[in-house]
Amino acid sequence: MKMLINVPETVVADALRGLAAAHPELTVDVENRVIVRRDAPVAGQVGLISGGGSGHEPLHGGFVGPGMLSAACPGEVFTSPVPDQMLRAAAAVDSGAGVLFIVKNYTGDVLNFDMAAEMAEDEGIQVAKVLVNDDVAVTDSLYTAGRRGTGATLFVEKIAGAAAAEGMPLERVEAVARQVNESSRSFGIALSACSTPAKGSPTFDLPPGELELGIGIHGEPGRERRAMMTSGEIAEAAVEAVVEDLQPRNPVLVLVNGMGATPLLELYGFNAEVHRVLAQRGVPVARVLVGNYVTSLDMAGASLTLCQVDEELLRLYDAPVKTPGLRWGV
């Protein structure tokens, strides 16, 4: 496999140096692997911290900035960050209003963020935690017990970030984040496997004429493999899986997310099919986001996330945000 890298051992450090050069509004500690908005801590605001293995960009470092995350902690590729990273981040962003850890439901992330929360509280920092577990495809996987955390992470970080920017107290920001997670469901499809820099070859075998329904963002197995389907057929399978589980009663936010190697031409076509199926099911759409936001290196495929929203959640979603990976209203 050809990759635009120097050596596998420096991939994350090289990317962080590049992020720092492109975005001077961020403070990027390459050695300790912590990305912080330069104006942190912001007086009177809850600090939002997330993180996880690298390879899912722009998640999470690309979502650091006003209206979203205060800091992010990148691990090695598909590997959880360590507690010391979260502790550094918490110390950097805590204004005295406390910090919220947003944690995708993967075993390593959960254990390390739990440990970091204990360490931070020992240093006098108030910490709350929200677990993101939106994937409807499988209950348990290679990386986690329970449902995996995937595309809804973006909605949780964006909406909770807006709540923090409004000066809401920690308890309220936590409650908003939990509401978003509970109101969100996701389903992913792989058309090809991803290749990690360390391995340099596909991480699993997916024959050319087949696809995998229900994959995770590390290429974990899904519900089943099928012969290649049309975009419309894939949309019908994804929407059915999400809607049957979510049972939305309110309008929904729609995230049509690319896994890293699928061009926008295909993603917009897939989005058209998703809207067709949602209309057939009578599900109203409030807002739509199409693009590569929660990726899996060079995997071809897509994921669908729906989040049903009330007036407050929609207002917070529409609030200004200014990050490398997401910005509007500024």
Would you call 23 a catalytic residue per the annotation? no
Instruction: Count other Cβ atoms within 10 Å, centred on residue 145.
Output: 12
Task: State the distance between the two ends of the chain, measured CA to CA, in whole angstroms.
Answer: 40
Instruction: Count other Cβ atoms within 10 Å, centred on residue 306.
Output: 29
**Residue in this structure with the two tokens 């986001």, named with its chain if needed:** 289
Would you call 60 a catalytic residue per the annotation? no
Cα separation, 197 vs 191, whole angstroms: 19
8 Å CB contact between 70 and 27: no
Cα separation, 234 vs 294, whole angstroms: 19
Distance set, CA 58 to CA 124, 152, 157, 221, 328 (Å): 31, 14, 13, 23, 16
**Residue in this structure with the two tokens 């049903």, named with its chain if needed:** 308
Catalytic residue among 23, 60, 218, 275: 218
Cα separation, 168 vs 97, whole angstroms: 9
Question: What is the torsional sign of CA 232, 58, 131, 142?
Answer: positive
**Residue in this structure with the two tokens 């912590």, named with its chain if needed:** 34
Instruction: Residue count of the chain, please give it.
Output: 330
Closest CA to 58 of 202, 200, 157: 157
* 151 CA to centre of own chain: 5
HSE-CB at 164 with a 13 A cutoff on CA atoms is: 34
Q: Which residues are catalytic?
A: 56, 218
